[in-house]
Structure 1
Amino acid sequence: MTAPVVIAGGGIGGLTAALSLHEVGIDALVLEHARRIEPIGVGMNILTHGVRELTDLGLGDELAAIGVPTAENVFCDKSGNQIFAQPRGEAAGSRWPQYSLHRGELHLALLERVRRLLGPGAVRTGIRLEDFTQRDDAVEVRVTDRESGASETIEATALVGADGLHSTVRARLHPGEQPLAWSGQRMWRGVTEGVPEFLTGRSMVVVSDGAASLVAYPIGKDRVNWVCLVRLGEPGPLPEESDGLLVDDHREGRLKDVLVHYEDWSLGWLDVRALLERSGDILEYPMVDRDPLPAWGTGRVTLLGDAAHPMYPAGANGASQAVLDARVLAYELARAGDDVPAGLAGYEAVRVPETTAVVTVGRAVAHSAGPDTWDRETVTQMVGLYRQMAEGEVAQLNSRPSYSPPARA
């Protein structure tokens, strides 16, 4: 029996990779550090290129059931005056919609499909990856069961590190890497129920006064996801502690800390104070990424998603890029047959330059905004640059061949 491709990390990218590998006849095993996979988190977007890939995997109906098909991005000032509007998804001519949805609901939909198609043992939870050793013909993956403490070595055809921002696999592949790069901005995120419909009812709004910004969009079930971004310093290495800014994935946010930056905002069509005050849990994050790597892995080991290319949320593109990673990974491994290192090299040859462009333009967009630059010319330039470098043209997506290759014989 051929050893599986082991995927470290059962997030959206890791589960999409398992489904994509299964589609082409390659066995996959997902190892997840968390003891349980639960529908946690807040809202997110799957852009049209990500929706296409998930639809090709048979998830089109699930996306339509849990997502809101975004019709437009609307950029405004803090008085609610429209600066620029950009059609999205099918409204922009795409054959696929863009969906705004709850991250946890998509996560569970992917998990259910993996377990149904690959079997209940395809995702093992509560497993901590300790280290790995490559041989010419396999990878030995050393893990620990977090519940029992038992250690185990799993033989894998390949190892894919989809284990997030603080990836163990990345740390082993690239020891001594520089600290996370901070944008100078802090983010607060939340979901508020019962918000009256605004604009088209399918609008994502981006509001800014230069120093502080708000992104808000409906995610179904009478819920609105919101993100507040406030500039607290200059871009640079993430400080270990500075004015309460701590190095962590997120922490529980306090309403008073975020609300003070939006006291004089009055959009008219959306009550910002009520949106923030009536929110459920508030999460607080430093807005960070990492410098792009020239190569992610070597031999039979590679990276995927945030482990490979953590990026600013400037274009709501992180999850979609992880989905694209997963699809190209399976496509290239299927094309390479038994030459697994060649397949992984082909995967990186496609995805490293593409994701480097997304990270780079995301930085440019995030760093360009300032108190005096939130005007139509600046916003139009930002949107155009991001669309060119990080999303591609609608016609290109509509005409591109599928990443679903013939299954292995």
Structure 2
Amino acid sequence: MRVLIAGAGIGGLTAALSLHAAGIEATVIEAVRELRPLGLGINLLPHAVGELTALGLGEDLARISVATAENVYCDPSGNTLFTEARGLAGGYRWPQYSVHRGRLQALLLAAVYDRLGPQAVRTGARLLDFEQDADGVRARVPGAEIEAAALIGADGLHSAVRARLHPDQGPLLWSGVRMWRGAAEAGPFPGGRSMIIARGPSGAELIAYPIGPSLVNWVAMVTVAEPGPLPGGADWNSPGRADEVLEHFGAWDLGRLDVPALIENSPEILEYPMVDRDPLPTWGEGRVTLLGDAAHPMYPVGANGASQAIVDARVLAEELARDFSRGLAAYEKARREATAAVVAANREMQRSGDARSPEELARITTTYRRATRADHHH
């Protein structure tokens, strides 16, 4: 029973490893010719770290990540409003990690090659189309047709599998927030393993955290419009300009962190809109379904995107191993509601961005953990 996975991102590669661990053959097809370590910092919540640890990747993951011990909320003058313990320090079974997305992808890819063999990932193989019947799926890629018992669309925000399953899905939904991201060498991070979340007037927010011994990742967000559909789609790799970010954050003085220097010293700045989609009534049909961002794109506010994709991968493998014929339906039933709750919680979290008092922040973070079930250990 071979499962074909479209997309060699974090969700797709974790799905391949999880299926293999469950005794199910998996092949990954990826549109790009060469998988390069792109992207910037991401966060893995303890429940996702638990899944990767169960796959035997705990030590490798610890080596390339920084274990986050606390979130420190402050104002633009650096006054601390509220501190929240995270990961092991917060009483979780596993750490919370900050890691360079490209390094995590490279680690997962190396594990796939090592365990499933070099032929398990076919690059330069964009999914053109697929058809299915009671016996299986036939997927078309340039110059070839691949047969499989099931097809998983783990092909991200602009998923070809999703577009084919849901042709009338409409445009992406924009929160009205513009985001910039970068990373710069900034010496040892204040507090070593803190994540700083600074909130200014009218919804301006800056998040900074270390993703290496001296490399600091930052995300800057500014509300520029009313929420609504995003015409023309979103490009994740639009270059951003330092002067545009400094216009909003150049006067911020966090004391322990030199914000203007961090922005000016970033060799690459990316800019994109904060978008998601309304949860789908169903993800897939028959022998085809979705996983990760293809299934449930969410605002990147709760450090939950990659974490949810990793949990998707484990549940998918578990359900297919239990009963292959009913596995996809069981996976979707388990994960569709759970991830819809996270999409809703992320929207709520984003709307509550103007919270100022420590009490309010404490209430919001507690509500968020509960809503996203981050407090529940698998």
Structure 2 length normalisation: TM-score? 0.97
1:200-215 equivalences under 5 Å are: 200-210=191-201, 211-215=203-207
1:105-254 equivalences under 5 Å are: 105-144=103-142, 151-198=143-190, 200-210=191-201, 211-240=203-232, 247-254=234-241
How far residue 365 of structure 1 moved from its aligned partner, in angstroms, is: 1.0
Of the three residues 16, 19, 22, the one matched with 1:18 is 16
Could you give the per-residue CA deviations for residues 229-282 of structure 1, whole angstroms, max 9, x where no partner exists?
Answer: 011011111134xxxxx7322301111111100122111111100111111200
Q: Is it true that 1:366 corresponds to 2:350 in the alignment?
A: yes
Of the three residues 301, 314, 317, the one matched with 2:301 is 314
The alignment's C-alpha RMSD in Å is: 1.2
CA contact (8 A) 1:195 1:275 kept: no
Q: Which residue of 1 aligns with 2:365?
A: 383
Distance across 2 between alignment mates of 1:382 and 1:34: 40
Of the three residues 79, 82, 95, the one matched with 1:84 is 82
Distance across 2 between alignment mates of 1:377 and 1:278: 35
Alignment partner of 1:347: what SS? helix
Of the three residues 289, 293, 307, the one matched with 2:280 is 293
CA contact (8 A) 1:218 1:225 kept: yes
How far residue 374 of structure 1 moved from its aligned partner, in angstroms, is: 2.9
Distance across 2 between alignment mates of 1:194 and 1:250: 23
Which amino acid in structure 1 is aligned with residue 209 of structure 2?
Answer: Y
Which amino acid in structure 1 is aligned with residue 345 of structure 2?
Answer: V
CA contact (8 A) 1:79 1:267 kept: yes
Which amino acid in structure 1 is aligned with residue 344 of structure 2?
Answer: T
Which amino acid in structure 2 is aligned with residue 327 of structure 1?
Answer: R
Distance across 2 between alignment mates of 1:180 and 1:221: 37
Distance across 2 between alignment mates of 1:375 and 1:195: 31
Alignment partner of 2:138: what SS? strand
Consecutive unaligned residues of structure 2, counting only runs of 5 or more, are none
Alignment partner of 2:184: what SS? strand
How far residue 354 of structure 1 moved from its aligned partner, in angstroms, is: 0.5
Could you give the per-residue CA deviations for residues 93-126 of structure 1, whole angstroms, max 9, x where no partner exists?
Answer: 1121011111111110000000010000000001
Alignment partner of 1:142: what SS? strand
Could you give the per-residue CA deviations for residues 280-318 of structure 1, whole angstroms, max 9, x where no partner exists?
Answer: 200011110011112100111000000000111111110
How far residue 178 of structure 1 moved from its aligned partner, in angstroms, is: 1.9
How far residue 385 of structure 1 moved from its aligned partner, in angstroms, is: 1.7
CA contact (8 A) 2:47 2:374 kept: no
Q: Which residue of 2 aligns with 1:353?
A: 337
Which amino acid in structure 1 is aligned with residue 192 of structure 2?
Answer: G
CA contact (8 A) 1:235 1:367 kept: no
Structure 1 length normalisation: TM-score? 0.90
Which amino acid in structure 2 is aligned with residue 282 of structure 1?
Answer: I
Aligned length: 377
Q: Which residue of 2 aligns with 1:257?
A: 244
How far residue 73 of structure 1 moved from its aligned partner, in angstroms, is: 0.6
Alignment partner of 2:301: what SS? helix
